[in-house]
Structures are given as structure tokens and as C-alpha cells.
Amino acid sequence: MEPETETGIVNVSDRTLRALYGYQMKRTFNVIQSDLSRTLKPFDLRMLTYTALVLIVDNPGLRQSQLAEAMDIERPNLVVIVDELERRDLIIRDRLPSDRRAYALKATLAGRRLCEKAIAAVMEHEKMLLNGISKDALSVATKVMQMIESNRQRED
Amino acid sequence: MEPETETGIVNVSDRTLRALYGYQMKRTFNVIQSDLSRTLKPFDLRMLTYTALVLIVDNPGLRQSQLAEAMDIERPNLVVIVDELERRDLIIRDRLPSDRRAYALKATLAGRRLCEKAIAAVMEHEKMLLNGISKDALSVATKVMQMIESNRQRED
DNA sequence: TATTGTTATACTCTATAACTATA
DNA sequence: TATAGTTATAGAGTATAACAATA
């Protein structure tokens, strides 16, 4: 006599739905990811290059290791992303005088301009995706996500 | 004079944070994904094989095409997942008498037992991840995710 | 010795076209 | 002709070890 919830085309019991909390989040993330990819295509950006560009524009002088940590990816995987942005003259790698191992990442004027346009497009699409969701509900959802993140169990 | 929010190690303005709504969700999904992977390792399951198994146990007779749609992946990518579960005798592929092209997927006794154990382990870990989050807040967050999913703009 | 960025590499997940067997 | 499942394959994204340069 368990309640059932419609999720896609199959019905799962509420107990099972709780066991699939990652499954709901993955479905939702897929939606956002694919919408974002389509929105960013005209700018020749992917989610990863877009995120990196936005963070560099917002944090001039950021190091690659900091950016990798912020984006939650490994340093080796960031190299190709920064390479691509640099090759397109959207950012530059400046040597830090204080630590000649590291780079200070800075957006170029072209990078800042592209970033502005991309952000505007993303926000426009976001409106459609978040249609019917109250400001309060969205705020609660964001807090829940931040709580989950802070509850992360780092492996030892 | 923009407010700033701590996200990882870099500060981003609230406007920028809104432009990175996918970024927050990705970070959160990464946390859930990696926690889930670690939890499922003792059962020799990944997120995909776990999700497939749970859905088959909960929906006996499910077809592969239905399962693929439920899991939001392409049919070809499901084949290897079903192959693996079948090879481990956790599920069987039953021919449908009414449509000999399709398979009815059913869990074996071993599959149902492993599924039960895996769900228990996942729920135990979920408690830690959702620590400090009220039932109401979680419910709101889930509804928001479902709303986003239903707002999906299918490409034509 | 430790850290920054790098290369190489392997693995997982994803996406598409084309095939077979049934309908 | 259309659909269910399959094969082959290519492309993203991710994770790890090992290296050079610098601290």
C-alpha cells in the first residue's frame, strides 16, 4: 500500500525514490547541462569553459590550482580548458613575480565581452527553466545544495 | 558594492552566482556522485548499475527502452549496463510473448537481495549527507528539481 | 622536501549511425 | 515502414602517476 510517484515513465515507490536521491538530481542536472550546452553553443563555449571564464573574470589573478579547486576538477583536466581559453585570446596566463611556478589568470577585454554576452544568454534561458518556481523555493533549494556540499565526507 | 558569497575557495558576486546556477548544481551532484560511488563499491555497483537494478526490482517486466528513458540515457548505452547485471545473475532478460523484439527485465532473487542491501547502505550514507536539512527544505528542493525537469525545452 | 603546472594515459559516461529481427 | 535491441565508434569528462621548474 505504498504511495507511488511519477518519475519519467516508470513508477517508483516513495521508499525507492528516497534510495534514488542521486537519480533525481542527475535527471535535473542533465536538463540544466543540456540546456546550458545549447545556450552556449553560439559562443563556442561548453559548460566547463564557460564556468572557467566566468570565474576568471570575477576573480582576476586566480591561480590554476585555485580555479581547479573551485570547479571541483583535477588540475590536469583544467590545463586543456585554460589552453583553449588562452588560444582564443579570452584570457592570459601571467607569471606571478612572487611565485614563478604559478600563473595569474586574467581575462582579456575580448574575454570579458564574450563573458557578458554569454551570461546574458544563460540568464535568459534560466528564466524559462525556472519558470513557476518561487524565489523562496529557489533560495531553499540552493541552501539545501550548499548544505549537502558542506556535509561532504572527504576520503582520508 | 555587490554582495559576495563563499563558494569553494573563490568569491563570486551574487549576480555571477546566478549566472552559474549549473555550477552549484554540478558541485552538489559531484558530492552525491562520489559519495554514492564509494558507498556502492563494496557491492560492486556503480551509480548506473545501481539505478538500473533498483528500477528493475521496483518495476518487474520493464522493457529496456522504458528503462533507458527512465534513466535518461540512450538505448545503446543501456545495453552494457543490462549485460553486466545479467552476467552477474542479478536480473534476467525475458522475451515478451506479445512482442518478440522486446525484453521484459526482471530481477532474480540474488538481485533483489543485493538491491535491498545496497539501498540500506545508500540510505545510511544519505543521512550523513542530508544532515541538518529539514524535511520541509528537502521536500521543497525535490519539488524545485522536478519543476526544472518539467520545464525542459525539448529540442525539435 | 613540497608545490605549480604539465604530459601521458586509462576509464567512465555519452551520443550517433547503422545493423538484425521482429512488428 | 517502424520499433526493440544491438554493434561499433567517437567524443566528452574524469582520475592517477610521473615529470620539470620553482619554492
For chain A, domain boundaries: 43-149
Q: Look at A32 and B22 and tell me if their CB atoms are within 8 Å.
A: yes
- A80 vs B: CB within 8 A: no
Q: What class does CATH assign to B44-150?
A: mainly alpha
Q: What is the pLDDT of residue B16?
A: 80
Closest chain A residue by Cα to residue B33: A22
Q: What is the pLDDT of residue A14?
A: 80
Indicate the SS3 state at residue B121.
Answer: helix
Please give the CATH topology (third level) of the domain spanning A43-149.
Arc Repressor Mutant, subunit A (1.10.10)
Q: In the structure, what pLDDT confidence band is assigned to residue A154 with cuts at 50, 70 and 90? A: low
Q: What is the pLDDT of residue B21?
A: 86
Nucleotide D10 C1' to residue A81 CA (A): 20
Nucleotides of C under 7 A from a protein CB: 3-9, 12-18, 21-23
Average pLDDT of the residues of chain A: 90
- For the stretch B99-116, what's the b/e string if a residue is b when 16 or more beta carbons lie within 10 angstroms of its beta carbon? eeeebbbbbbeebbebbe
Chain A residues in contact with B131 by the CB 8 A cut-off are: 147, 151
In degrees, to the nearest 5, what angle opens at C-alpha B105 toward C-alphas A26 and B116?
A: 65
Count of Cβ atoms closer than 10 Å to residue A51 Cβ = 23
Q: In the structure, what pLDDT confidence band is assigned to residue A156 with cuts at 50, 70 and 90? A: very low
Residues 115-144 of chain A whose Cβ lies under 8 A from any Cβ of chain B:
119, 122-123, 126, 128-133, 137-138, 140-144
- B110 vs A: CB within 8 A: no
Give how far the C-alpha of residue B42 lies from the chain's centroid of Cα atoms, to the nearest Å.
18
Q: In the structure, what pLDDT confidence band is assigned to residue A71 with cuts at 50, 70 and 90? A: very high
Give how far the C-alpha of residue A12 lies from the chain's centroid of Cα atoms, to the nearest Å.
30
Residue pair B89/B124 in contact by the 8 Å Cβ criterion: no
For the stretch A3-22, pLDDT in tens is 444 445 577 778 788 889 88
Nucleotide D4 C1' to residue A80 CA (A): 40
Q: Look at A54 and B16 and tell me if their CB atoms are within 8 Å.
A: yes
Q: What is the pLDDT of residue B9?
A: 54
Low-confidence ranges of chain B (pLDDT < 50): 1-7, 156
Least confident of A63-72, A108-117, B5-14: B5-14
Q: Look at A148 and B155 and tell me if their CB atoms are within 8 Å.
A: no
Stretch (H or E) spanning A85? helix A75-87
Q: What is the pLDDT of residue A38?
A: 93
Give how far the C-alpha of residue A49 lies from the chain's centroid of Cα atoms, to the nearest Å.
10
